[in-house]
Amino acid sequence: MRDGATALASGLSETIVQVALPGRSYAIVIGEGLIASTGRRIAQALPGARCAVVSDENVAALYLAPLKASLEQHGLFLGEAIVAPGEASKSFPVLAKLSETLLTLGVERGDCVIAFGGGVVGDLAGFAASILRRGVRVVQVPTSLLAQVDSSVGGKTGIDTKQGKNLIGTFHQPSLVLADTSVLSTLSPREFRAGYAEVVKYGLLGDAAFFAWLEQNWTEISSGQGGKRRHAVETSCRAKAAIIAADEKETKGTRALLNLGHTFGHALEACAGYSDRLLHGEAIAIGMRLAFTFSVELGLCPAGDAARVERHFAAVGLPTTIASIPGTKPAPDDLLRLMAQDKKVKGGKLALVLVRGIGAAFVEPDISLPRLTEFLTRECGRR
Could you read off the pLDDT tens digit of each residue along the chain, which spans 383 residues? 444 433 444 445 899 999 999 988 999 999 999 999 999 999 999 999 999 999 999 999 999 999 999 999 999 999 999 999 999 999 999 999 999 999 999 999 999 999 999 999 999 999 999 999 999 999 999 999 999 999 999 999 999 998 889 999 999 999 999 999 999 999 999 999 999 999 999 999 999 999 999 999 999 999 987 799 999 999 999 999 999 999 999 989 899 999 999 999 999 999 999 999 999 999 999 999 999 999 999 999 999 999 999 999 999 999 999 999 999 989 999 999 999 887 666 666 889 999 999 999 999 998 998 999 999 999 998 87
Residues β-bridged to residue 26: 19
pLDDT digits (tens, 9 = 90+) for 203-239: 999 999 999 999 999 999 999 877 999 999 999 999 9
- In whole angstroms, give the CA distance from residue 215 to residue 71: 40
Upper half-sphere CA count for residue 123 (Cβ side, 13 Å) = 25
Name the class of domain 200-381.
mainly alpha
Backbone angles phi, psi at 141, to 5 degrees: -120, 80
User: What's the confidence (pLDDT) of residue 3?
Assistant: 46
d(C-alpha 237, C-alpha 242), whole Å: 9
Alpha-carbon dihedral 33, 34, 35, 36, rounded to 10 degrees: 70
Residue type, 336: L
CA–CA gap between residue 72 and residue 62 (Å, rounded): 18
Q: At what angle do helices 280-297 and 189-206 cross, to 10 degrees?
A: 30
Pairing type for strands 176-180 and 164-168 reads unpaired
Delimit the domains of the chain by residue range.
14-186, 200-381
Instruction: Specify the DSSP class assigned to residue 256.
Output: G
The catalytic residues are 134, 156, 198, 240, 250, 255, 259, 262, 266, 280
- Helix residue ranges per DSSP H, the chain: 38-45, 57-73, 92-105, 119-131, 145-146, 189-206, 208-223, 228-246, 262-271, 280-297, 303-316, 332-340, 369-381
CATH architecture of 14-186: 3-Layer(aba) Sandwich (3.40)
Helix (H, G, I), strand (E, B) or coil at 176: strand
Listed residue (344, 176, 373) closest to 263, CA to CA = 344
pLDDT value for 162: 87
Q: Give the SS3 label for residue 347.
A: coil
What's the CA gap between 358 and 300, in Å, rounded?
Answer: 11
Name which of 156, 138, 148 is nearest 248 in CA terms: 156
CB 28 within 8 A of CB 153: yes
DSSP secondary structure string for all residues of 186-223: GS-HHHHHHHHHHHHHHHHHH-HHHHHHHHHHHHHHHH
